[in-house]
Structure 1
């Protein structure tokens, strides 16, 4: 039997609570003179199954089983002179589990907190490694940028991380303890996120999976396996996945860059050799054209004009090859996106009038400046706008809109047409060299646009939902001049 100790400690209740929560592996509780629980550390909470806000609504007597003389224990707590170590007591958990333990009770006397008692449950503790694993699992579900799902043996969702909720489009309280079959019931069986066969031991490693949530497409890399107890009995399963959409996009950009570099090397070696004879042919044809016109050879004159048109087309193609092989030198300086758009609007409007298209422009007030080559940025916006105008086939609206993404520190230029859209099987190919849907197109225009925007440190994306197409150009802005 131990005599009661009196602790003289210069701490407030909050400071003591923080200390016992971080540094005490044993279960610790602080109670008032009448036995009301004032504080408890995480170790005791985990063992008894309570939340902090729950346990402080009880008294210490509520934690003890009926076989203990509660009145005597209360008397010991009320009378400091009678406090002594209690050899053995039984403590009841939230779900009725009983824990046998010995305790020490210390009176706390100091001015910063009410007269209270410090109780140590000597036999109720978690091993340090287990506590660390508990904290890691909590951090994994809360902080780490991974989708995590925990399932029990009945295929019910036991827990889910915040990242998984965002990607899957579910609300955590609504899906906890629900069957996975029920949660994803609207999704066809073959496209459901995870199959029940996972509980039969079907191990999944680096499985590529595509998930769409409110028209946003995620490319996921998924791992899954069962969880077994000490007797090798399956008690549940886990699914862990990561959003690799940006990595896949970066990989595709690298592949396109490699293809463009290869095309550029070929172009650099042949472009000048092609241009020299073309220049001679073009010169002689222009002489023939003049002579034929003077002699009234109208049919021959038309043939000559047709040949000159084709030669000009070859020259344009060679020029685009040369841009791929040796991009123009960038002249970077602070640029207002609004100024760029306003300067090219007359050109776009003239093109739109020829096709009976309406152009609408939405500007943003006081946009920050971007660091860019003004002329190349104009070239990109004109090229994409002309593509949109031609896609609408003499009827529709071309919308040009500016916006700012403060979170990503980027200026956005959206160019949207109301044309027929781009089929889903083509959408991933439109930036590929030589891919075109135009009868007379070279398939290099968008490749050049993408290269220019990447050289400026931005990116360009396209989306199409069956009606209309939107190209979004994003460029980082100068943070020092951020709009207010």
Structure 2
């Protein structure tokens, strides 16, 4: 059972209904918490409403449009006085209006009782008019429309022969005169344009603000047809909107251009039975600001979405971000939504050796302009180099940090290549010097040994061994010379690379058998001959097979594969062993001068091999995993430039 509680009372809705009905009235009870109104059966019958409970807005729609402002105020604000009375018009069947008197009784903070009775014609002239007590004054209410509602109530009770010559009733009566002056003062002082147009489109009134907006005075356009002043063909949208308001009896608001004065205005049209009330605002300047702001935002968005860097704005604590540009997702592989929810989610992907440096850099960004570079492993597994710059901005006592993330992976890779190139140049210079210094003594030794061989005394039993070693030294020197001049004297001829690979394997037949290495060859039959240097390719594949066998001293598997990539027009050969493999950091240094994983190696072998492949227009790439082995991939173009 729903109860209505007042001062010392505890009644159900039905009991409240019967109590008011015994006085010959009906009642509606407003429950503020649920924003609903319980209606007495008599009220339901008056408005032809089948449901007892109605939402407030539905209930208000049962009253004349000019009376709804007062009723809405009554329902939305506390009433200080114990009683208030208001005279309003109730719409019967949604069309005809009937004057009723409502007595407002506040039962509690949540419940308001509206006791109503229908008025006869003679009662309308004598009943006291509505008065609004001070608590109804609110900055959120359109007071002008409220006052116009009161004026309309008073106009309805004046003599039927009230003058129609002006926009307002005759002011012969003192009460009407006082109220008219108050409203006139408001209308002429408000910062909005105000106009009244009759159903026949006659301009009845415009206030001084509207005169300034449209550049016309009331005396010049008074009683003129609106469409004579503003031609329909030029102001067609105005005609459509005003007609819509009059026909539907609904408020219409729109924005359009005022061609006479080159202004953008916002018009709100309030329809009544016999006239149209207009409120007009000049929004030219604000519209310009909005358009300028929109253009700026569009330009910034276009910039942010198309540059490689990611812009960001965050709090000084970095616990939240005000803005992050779309490029962030492309650089870091993390969605902006996830970062907004958890601003520290990206820290876990920073290389552990760089994480502390990044945290310290971010702390310093609160006070100074700082740049920090670090390695970042995106969720997909790729390692990137990131440069982050940030600096503080102080606004209205608040500090924010503005910054930019930049993917500098390519820059870092170029720096590494440049460093390797410098090292290579150094080695080349050293190699050329060594070759120059060794070649001359070798020539002398070779000459003396030839003399010794011409001696038939038989004391030259070690001469052949000496010559063999000298030949090997000469080969090493020649390799140094090739390293010094990798592009010199290339002999490009038709070359069967498959035959070279097979020959390279055959040279190590004894070692393969001795180490118990299982060899498998998977080579496509459609691999064509290419224009290349067979001597260099021989050395390349001999070095690669030799390295693989040295990595499998205790046996293993060696897979040699080859194919022709029709799309890329190149040959791809892979030498894959199941040896001990090497770590990622060591793998990155493969090819550096003097870097080797062997006890007695110099690191020049791989460097020479790489340079040979590159001199033939190809590439050499290594993949390795500790405990699983290493794969060397040689790619050679079909047509060497």
Q: TM-score, normalised by structure 2?
A: 0.48
String of CA shifts for 1:234-255, please: whole Å, max 9, x gaps: 3233242221343133213311
Structure 1 residues 152-301: aligned runs within 5 Å: 152-153=315-316, 154-156=318-320, 165=329, 168=332, 170-172=333-335, 175-185=338-348, 191-192=354-355, 194-195=358-359, 196-197=362-363, 199-201=365-367, 203-205=369-371, 207-213=372-378, 218=383, 220=385, 222-226=387-391, 228=393, 230-231=395-396, 233-241=398-406, 242-243=408-409, 244-280=411-447, 282-283=449-450, 291=458
Preserved CA contact (<8 Å) 1:271 1:321: no
Structure 1 unpaired stretches of 5+: 9-29, 35-68, 78-83, 90-99, 105-119, 294-300, 480-484
Quote the Cα distance in structure 1 between the aligned partners of 2:282 and 2:525.
Answer: 71
Secondary structure in 2 aligned to 1:378?
helix
Shift of 1:454: 2.3
Aligned to 2:533: 373
Pick the structure with greater CA Rg.
2
Are 2:483 and 1:317 equivalent residues in the alignment?
no
Q: Please tell me the root mean square deviation across aligned C-alpha atoms, in Å.
A: 4.8
Preserved CA contact (<8 Å) 1:210 1:217: no
Preserved CA contact (<8 Å) 2:315 2:400: yes
Secondary structure in 2 aligned to 1:211?
strand
String of CA shifts for 1:271-326, please: whole Å, max 9, x gaps: 43032023235546768999369xxxxxxx6x777755643442332222222234
Cα distance change on mapping 1:338 and 1:314 into 2, 3 Å: closer
Quote the Cα distance in structure 2 between the aligned partners of 1:273 and 1:439.
Answer: 30
Quote the Cα distance in structure 1 between the aligned partners of 2:254 and 2:383.
Answer: 63
Are 2:640 and 1:473 equivalent residues in the alignment?
no
Preserved CA contact (<8 Å) 2:523 2:562: yes
Structure 1 residues 313-462: aligned runs within 5 Å: 313-327=472-486, 328-332=488-492, 341=501, 344-347=504-507, 351-363=511-523, 372-402=532-562, 412-423=572-583, 426-439=586-599, 441-462=601-622
Secondary structure in 1 aligned to 2:341?
coil
Cα distance change on mapping 1:333 and 1:159 into 2, 3 Å: farther
String of CA shifts for 1:367-393, please: whole Å, max 9, x gaps: 788764344233212211211111211
Shift of 1:446: 1.4
Preserved CA contact (<8 Å) 1:158 1:176: no
Cα distance change on mapping 1:425 and 1:172 into 2, 3 Å: closer
Moved more, 390-399 or 469-478: 469-478
Which structure's relative contact order is higher, taking Cα pairs within 8 Å and 6+ residues apart?
Answer: 1
Aligned to 1:87: 266
Aligned to 2:51: none
Cα distance change on mapping 1:272 and 1:426 into 2, 3 Å: same
Cα distance change on mapping 1:430 and 1:388 into 2, 3 Å: same
Preserved CA contact (<8 Å) 1:4 1:85: no
Are 2:291 and 1:125 equivalent residues in the alignment?
yes
Preserved CA contact (<8 Å) 1:418 1:469: yes
Cα distance change on mapping 1:7 and 1:366 into 2, 3 Å: farther
Quote the Cα distance in structure 1 between the aligned partners of 2:424 and 2:536.
Answer: 18
Cα distance change on mapping 1:194 and 1:437 into 2, 3 Å: closer
Give aligned pairs, total. Answer: 377
Quote the Cα distance in structure 2 between the aligned partners of 1:427 and 1:234.
Answer: 45
Residue 138 of structure 1: which of 281, 288, 305 is its match? 305
Preserved CA contact (<8 Å) 2:562 2:571: yes
Secondary structure in 2 aligned to 1:460?
strand
Moved more, 191-200 or 444-453: 191-200
Aligned to 1:71: 250
Moved more, 435-444 or 240-249: 435-444
Aligned to 1:44: none
String of CA shifts for 1:68-95, please: whole Å, max 9, x gaps: x993327999xxxxxx974367xxxxxx
Preserved CA contact (<8 Å) 1:384 1:415: yes
